[in-house]
Structure 1
């Protein structure tokens, strides 16, 4: 098995950043909810959804995060964006497609606090799991 890398986000990013980003950047930041791989309890975290070549992706900027491991195990989740809840299925992106996605992610979100620094600390695209998502249902909160 290959080693997986993870950077724990700074305290301010974990505790304050996601909440503030949802307030000031609601078009960029969504809330991802994924069932836990052990308990099945739904876990939520703020994420930026990357649109690229007509498809949508979730990328774990901090490496092999809990949400990426849970999404890998379940293959399904929910996104809350602009007041609507969207159910989706997810397919992990193969390693050979990651460099282009990392480049696009940095182009779109690199100006956000800690994003560029995180990718500099974890420069291997394989350290950033990414998932192609397909919306399967929509509802309201």
Structure 2
């Protein structure tokens, strides 16, 4: 397993695109919300609630094994690679399989 590296999204994505996409491309946005056990703050967890287009669903998630990630990441790149920063962020990863990928179960 390679050492995990955090690739910070480009300034333009963090400060401009992430704020504009919800205004113009609502169908592309889903939000996963879970509450921390002690703090009550939103966190990443194996169980949560996915809100998409105003509908909420309780879900569980599991991390996809590294060996199974390449075809999923390729499909993601094919679908969203035309967005200004997606391909750049994917190219910046030392090893694409190091990018966490999760399977969602409803």
Normalised-by-shorter TM-score class? 0.7 to 0.9
Stretches (4+) displaced over 2 A: 34-40
Secondary structure at 1:42 match in 2: coil
The structure carrying a bigger helix percent of its residues is: 2
Alignment of 1:56-95 (within 5 A): 70=44, 74-95=45-66
> For this pair of structures, how many residues does the alignment match?
106
Structure-1-length-normalised TM-score:
0.65
Aligned: 1:104 with 2:104: no
d(CA) in 1 for partners of 2:16, 2:31: 14
Partner of 1:17: 17
Secondary structure at 1:9 match in 2: coil
The gaps in structure 2 that reach 5 residues or longer are none
State the 1:2 CA deviation. 4.9
Provide Cα deviations, 1:98-119, integer angstroms capped at 9, x if missing partner: 0001100001111112100011
Does the Cα contact within 8 Å between 1:22 and 1:30 map onto a contact in 2? no
Aligned: 1:6 with 2:43: no
- Residue 38 to residue 110, structure 1, CA distance change in 2 (3 Å): farther
Q: Cα RMSD between the aligned structures? A: 2.2
d(CA) in 2 for partners of 1:36, 1:124: 30
The gaps in structure 1 that reach 5 residues or longer are 44-69, 136-141
Give 1 or 2 for the bigger CA radius of gyration: 2
Secondary structure at 1:8 match in 2: coil
Alignment of 1:18-37 (within 5 A): 18-36=18-36
